[in-house]
Amino acid sequence: MTKQVHFRVDDDVYEKLVDKAVASGQTLQQSMTMALCKYVGKVDTMKQNKSGYTFIDLFAGIGGLRLAFENNGSQSVYSNEWNKYSQQTYLANFGVQPDDDITKVDEKSIPDHDILVAGFPCQPFSIAGVSKKNSMGRATGFQDKTQGTLFFDVCRVIKAKRPKAIFLENVKNLKSHDKGRTFKIIMESLNELDYDVHYAILDAQDFVPQHRERIVIVGFDRRRYGYVDFEFNLKKPVHKPVLREILEPKVDDKYTLSDKLWNYLQAYAEKHRKAGNGFGYGMADLDSHTRTLSARYYKDGSEILIPQPGKNPRRLTPRECARLQGFPDSFKIPVSNTQAYKQFGNSVAVPIMTEAARLVQSKLIELDMGKQQDVELLMKEA
C-alpha cells in the first residue's frame, strides 16, 4: 500500500528537483522518494543509542560488511554505493539510500566515525608520474600514487576524518594484481597516512559452505595508538556447515538447466579435459562446500551446479546464493534474479566478516581502555 504526500515548493527549488531527477535518470517521484528515504535514514541514525563504535560503509554493495559490523553492535553513520540496483537492495534492507558517486563527495561532509569500512574496487595504478618523481629524488605521497583510482577516494576520506581504524576487503588476487604494484602502493599509502596496517587472506569455508578467499586489510591510527599488536585469530564455529543445509526443499523447474545448456557445458568440459585443462562446470557435493560464487553466476551457473536424480542439474536460487554468503533469510531481495546473482556474487561471506569485525572492535576496546587508564594514571600523579 502506498500513501500520497503533497509538497509546495518555490519555482527555483522545483527546477533543482527536476534537474536532479533528470541527471539520475529517474522520474521526479522516484527522485523525491529516494531523497525522503535518505533523510529519514539519517534522522533514525541520529536517534540511535550510541552504545558501540560508529562506522561508514564505502563501496557498500548490498551491505554485507554493514551487517558484519552491525552484528557486533556498531552503527553506520554513512553509506556510499554507485550501482542503482545495489542501492535498491540496500535501501530495502537498511532503510537508507546510499550516496551514489564517491568521487563527487566532499570528504569533509562525511560524518565523523570510528571505523572506515570499504570493499573498494581493484584498479591498476599509473606509476609513470611516480617513477619520474623518484628519478628526480622527490618524495611522493598517496595523492601522487593513487590519484585517478577509487582507492584515492578512500585515502582522502581517511586523511580528512582520521578514523580510529580502517577495515578494507578485496579479492584474494589484490596481492598479485598488476604484478604486485597495486598492493604495494596501497600498503605504502596507508603507512604514509600513519596507520599501522595488518592483512590476511581469509577463507570462509569454515563459516559458510563455500570456498571463498578474500583479503582483509586492517589498520589502526598510529598517531592515536602507536604500533598495534593485532592478529587474525578467527574463532571458528563449532559446526562447519555443508551445502545441503542451505538448499530450499522445493525449487521451481526454471532453475534446472535446459538440455541445450547442459549438453554444451559437458562438451566444453570434455574439450578442456582432453587439452589437459581444468576448465569446466562444478558439480557440487551436498555434504561439503562449493566453489566460489562469482558475479557471473547468472550466465549459466556452471561453477556451482546442484545434482538432481533423474534430471539435469540445476543452479542455485537467489535465496540459496544469499544463504551461501551467510545472509539471513530476513534479507530482502527486491531485484531481478540476474541482478540478485550479480549482487550476491560480488558480496562478502557475512559470518567470517562478522568474526573479523569482532576482532577489530575488540582490539579497539582494548586500546581505548588502555588510553583511558593511562590518562587516569597521569591525573593521579599530577
Question: Looking at the annotation, which residues are catalytic?
Answer: 122
Q: Is 280 left (phi over 0), alpha (psi -120 to 50) or beta?
A: left
CB-hemisphere CA count at 13 Å for 47? 6
Assess contact for 174 and 183: CB atoms under 8 A. yes
> Alpha-carbon torsion 119, 208, 285, 262, what sign?
negative
| Angstrom distance (rounded) from CA 262 to CA 256 | 9
User: What are the residues whose beta carbons fall under 8 Å from the beta carbon of 283, sequence distance 6 or more?
Assistant: 305, 307, 313
CA angle 131, 134, 135 (to 5 degrees): 90
Q: Which burial class, exposed, middle or buried, applies to 223 when counting CB atoms under 10 A from its CB (0-12, 13-18, 19+)?
A: exposed
3-state secondary structure of 337: helix
